[in-house]
Amino acid sequence: MSGSTFGHLFCVTNFGESHGPAIGCVIDGCPPGLALSEADIQPDLDRRRPGTSRHVTQRNEPDQVEILSGVYEGLTTGTPIALLIRNTDQRSKDYGNILDTFRPGHADYTYWRKYGLRDPRGGGRSSARMTAPMVAAGAVAKKWLHEVHGTTFTGWMSALGEIGIPCEDESQIPLNPFFAPNAGIVERLEAYMDALRKAGDSVGARIEVRARGVPVGLGEPLYDKLDADIAHAMMGINAVKGVEIGAGFASVAQRGSEHGDALTPGGFASNHAGGVLGGISTGQELVVSLAIKPTSSIRSPKPSINRAGEPTVVETFGRHDPCVGIRATPIAEAMLALVVMDHALRHRAQCGDVHLPIAPI
C-alpha cells in the first residue's frame, strides 16, 4: 500500500536504498514448477548494472543476486521467492554536501517534505539503484512467459537527446553500450556522450519496448486495462516523463479511417493500436515508447535552497549517469514483463487457460 509492491497476482515487493546494506525483492505468486536459478536472473542484472562503459556511472557494483527462498531442487515451489543483492561500493561521503540542500530535479525536497526526514546517501530510496530488483523480478517473469507462451521482450534506444536512432537491426542491440538497434550510429552516439560528459551536463532519451507472443485476451476492463497498467509500470521507472502505446501522440492528428486497424482473414492489417484494444491484448506485438528526462545530477553548479529556505548553489560530485536512459532499456523490458505476467495470471484466474495467439487471428 506504500507503493513498494508491484502486481496483484505476481506480486513483487521491493526494498532497499542506494547506500544501505542490501537491496532486493520478494516475489509472491510465482507459479510452481518453473526451473529457476541465479543464472536465469544474473544476465539481465548484468545488462543493467553500472560501470560497464564510460558512458554510465562508474560506481562498481557486481549486483550479484542470491535466491533466499521459494526454490527447491531447482524448481519454484509456489512460495515467495526472495532475491537479495548486497550493496558493495557505497561511498556515502560523496554525498555529504547535499545533506542540507535540495538538488534541482531530484527527489530531495519532496522526500524531505513527505517524510520529515530523508536518507541523503545516493538519493536513498529514490535512487535508480532500486531498479535492479525490478530487473531481477522481471527476469523470472520473462522466463515463465517464454516457457509457457513463447513471449519475448525486446527494448532499444530510439533517441539520444536530439539524435533519432532508426531501428535497423535488432541483433545489434547487445553489441553497443547504448542498446541501439543500429550499428552505423554508434560512433556518433559515443562522440555525443563524450562531449556531454566534458560539458558536465546530461541529456534525455527515448526508449522503445516490444513484447511479442503475448496471448490474446490479457487486460482487465475497466481501470486495469493492459495499457493502463503498462503506463503505470513505465511512468514508475525513475526519470520517465511520458508513455505511448502504439500510435501514441501521433493518433491526435489521425483520422478514424486511418487509425482503426483492419482485420483480415490473415490477421490485423496494421498495428496503430499497439497490441491493445479496449484495454485487452490483441495478440499482436505490444508497442510501448518512453520519454526519459535528463539526469538531474550534473556537475555544473545550479542555484537551489537549503532546508532553512536560504539560497545556495548545488554541485554534484557523486558518480552519476550522464544519460539515465542508457541503462533504462533492460528496466523497461522487465517492467513490461511484470505487467504481462500479472495479467496472464489474472486472466487465468477469471477465464481459465489463457488463449494462445493464433494465426491468422
Name residues contacting a second copy, limited to 92-111 (CB under 8 A). 102-107, 109-111
Q: Which residues contact 208 (CB under 8 A, 6 or more apart)?
A: 155, 156, 157, 158, 167, 287, 288, 289, 290
| Closest approach of a second copy to the CB of residue 192, in Å | 12
- CA triple 217-80-111, angle to 5 deg: 85
Q: What cell numbers appear for 274 in the block?
A: 499497439
CB of residue 28 vs a second copy: minimum separation in angstroms? 5
Q: Which of residues 182-241 bind a second copy (CB under 8 A)?
A: 201-206, 216-225, 227-236, 238, 241
**Binding piece for a second copy, criterion CB under 8 A, among 35-43, 44-52, 137-145, 277-285:** 277-285
Among 175, 183, 195, 263, binds a second copy (CB under 8 A): 263
Residue closer to a second copy by CB (options 176, 297) is: 297
304: annotated binding-site residue? no
Using CB under 8 A as the binding rule, whether residue 49 contacts a second copy is answered as: no
Q: How far is the CB of 137 from a second copy (least distance, A)?
A: 11
Residue 279 near a second copy by CB under 8 A:
yes
3-class secondary structure per residue, 167-198: CCCHHHHHHCCCCCCCHHHHHHHHHHHHHHHH
Binding mask 116-135 for a second copy (x = CB under 8 A): xxxx-x--xxx---x-----
Nearest Cα to Cα of residue 142 among 276, 34, 67, 13? 34
Residue 101 DSSP code: B
Shortest separation between residue 86's beta carbon and a second copy, angstroms? 9
Does residue 88 have a known ligand-binding role? no
CA nearest neighbour of 153 among 135, 165, 166: 135
Binding of a second copy by 62 (CB under 8 A):
no
44 or 227: CB nearest a second copy: 227
Q: How many binding residues for a second copy (CB under 8 A)?
A: 155
Instruction: Indicate which single residue of 14, 151, 172, 329 sits in contact with a second copy (rule: CB under 8 A).
Output: 14
Residue 207, beta-bridge partner list:
157, 290
> Cα-Cα-Cα-Cα dihedral of 109, 319, 56, 296, to 10°?
20
Q: Which is nearer to a second copy, 167 or 235 (CB)?
A: 235
C-alpha cell at 120: 541523503
Among 141, 193, 286, 292, binds a second copy (CB under 8 A): 292
By the rule CB under 8 A, 150 interacts with a second copy: no
Residue 316: which of 53, 57, 16, 51 has the closest Cα? Answer: 57
Question: Is residue 3 a contact residue for a second copy (CB under 8 A)?
Answer: yes
Q: Does the bond joining 290 to the residue before it have cis omega, within 30 degrees of 0?
A: no
| Residue 75 makes contact with a second copy by CB under 8 A | yes
> 316 labelled as ligand-binding?
no
Q: Is residue 281 part of an annotated ligand binding site?
A: no
Where in 308-327 is the site for a second copy (CB under 8 A)?
A: 309-311
CA atoms within 13 A on the CB side of 74: 2
Query: Is residue 39 involved in binding a second copy (CB under 8 A)?
Result: no
Find the Cα–Cα–Cα–Cα dihedral 269, 272, 278, 279, rounded to 10°.
120
- Rounded to whole angstroms, how far apart are CA atoms 131 and 331? 7
Q: Tell me if 44 contacts a second copy by CB under 8 A.
A: no
59 is in an annotated binding site: no
- For residues 43-59, one letter each, b for 16 or more C-beta atoms within 10 angstroms of the residue's C-beta and e for the rest, the string is ebbebbbbeeeebbbeb
Residue 297 labeled ligand binder = yes
Q: Measure the CA–CA gap between 225 and 219, rounded to whole angstroms.
A: 5
Q: Is there a binding annotation on residue 80? A: no
Q: Please indicate if the annotation marks 48 as binding a ligand.
A: yes
Question: Which residue bears the cell 546530461?
Answer: 202
| Region from 37-45, 165-173, 176-184, 342-350 binding a second copy, contact rule CB under 8 A | 342-350
**Residue nearer to a second copy on the CB measure, 146 or 299:** 299
- Binding-site residues for NADP(+), please? 48, 54
- Binding-site residues, please? 48, 54, 125-127, 238-239, 278, 293-297, 319
